[in-house]
Structure 1
């Protein structure tokens, strides 16, 4: 399984380090390097890759902005000398966040996450599972294991049928985008439920098959109209 990647950094020594470390892997192929994000963004429109090493502090367009422009697609490993961007990195669902200067050992850990995630994506169709970051690990969750998803400020708590909840630094908007719309529905600013896990709906309350009762928010009343009791 070959991983094609590019590296974007306005500092040549940083690009050289990534090239050196990546050279230790036969399945990592550096396609191109860029010293500015705007040129890279234009190139990516025509040449897709599997992975991007992306510096954050760059002139004109920084790495966080570029990642938002790219959206879904290549996996991203942020590289930066500034710790304060870690939250933005994980909020964008980056595979990892390397703090400069990083060692070969730290680089290896990030790459192993990329290979593990790529392997998981080959094993199952994308619609059958949700991939999140939890406790600095990439976690794959089968959709049929999800009881419901709850927002807890900056984090999500993914409640499971067969184990303890999984905590992840992710927004409700982002997780809804990752879930198949025909299988999951947002019923409240703080809750997402599997449609086939709903036992009954009454008085703006949803009762799940597991017995949990959750409220339906004012902005999500369309769910009440759309849901039909089997």
Structure 2
């Protein structure tokens, strides 16, 4: 079944481009477009959709205020002509944001992410297997579990250290991310650290040596990890 989309933008040309792009992707269905954000809000609060594509800067109410007003929020892709993006967009956990003028390749990547995420959400956690989705820098980011070296807690944030590329910072607690990970595959060893069990190569003096060469402390509160790891 195609994902139901609504586009909101005060520029008719922008809506025409989005309409044309959606028509080229069979997995999407354009339900309605709006140049008026207030009319869009009324429609969206009475209609179930999957994806909302909405301009950030509009004359009556902003796209951010529109999304904030919705009772049931769909996946949101913001569109904007400005590279600097408001912090409120981060709080609203948008799927992505697209800079105008939007080209089709960039648009298709954003909606592909939406399609993948919908499938991910439908799959039971124990069967999801190989990916984790977190919000980072105004976007939903997909991380392959095999690439995770370790996860670090930084007060209200977590920092996911990956084998390739830079670490991913997300506004999330360690407890919350552990709920998203396959049970038994990742273990907390310290208030500040969670590790993939299969990447721990040795333990000595209450420190876990990872396959990357990184050494992390094991606290007294999580010392049962040592005995459990020995059984693996």
- Is the TM-score greater than 0.5? yes
Q: Secondary structure at the match of 1:84?
A: coil
Summarize deviations over 1:139-166 as a string: whole Å, max 9, x none.
1566xx9897535599631258xx6797
Larger Rg: 2
After TM superposition, list the pairs within 5 Å mapping 1:14-33 onto structure 2.
14-33=14-33
Change in CA separation of 1:65 and 1:23 when aligned onto 2, cut-off 3 Å: same
After TM superposition, list the pairs within 5 Å mapping 1:36-75 onto structure 2.
36-70=36-70, 73-75=73-75
Structure 2 distance, partners of 1:46, 1:81, is 29
TM-score of the superposition, structure 1-length normalised? 0.63
Contact 1:90–1:170 (8 Å) recurs in 2 = no
Structure 2 distance, partners of 1:79, 1:52, is 10
Structure 2 distance, partners of 1:9, 1:95, is 18
Structure 2 distance, partners of 1:39, 1:126, is 38
Match of 1:103 in 2: 103
* Cα distance, 1:39 vs structure 2: 2.8
Count of residue pairs brought into register by the alignment: 207
Structure 1 distance, partners of 2:160, 2:113, is 21
The CA RMSD measured in Å over matched residues stands at 4.6
After TM superposition, list the pairs within 5 Å mapping 1:1-230 onto structure 2.
1-70=1-70, 73-85=73-85, 88-90=88-90, 92-122=92-122, 124-125=123-124, 130-133=132-135, 138-140=141-143, 149-150=151-152, 156-158=158-160, 167-172=167-172, 180=179, 212=216
TM-score of the superposition, structure 2-length normalised? 0.63
* Cα distance, 1:38 vs structure 2: 3.0
Structure 1 distance, partners of 2:61, 2:218, is 42
| Unmatched runs of 5 consecutive residues or more in structure 1 | 195-206, 216-223
Change in CA separation of 1:169 and 1:8 when aligned onto 2, cut-off 3 Å: farther
Structure 1 distance, partners of 2:34, 2:218, is 49
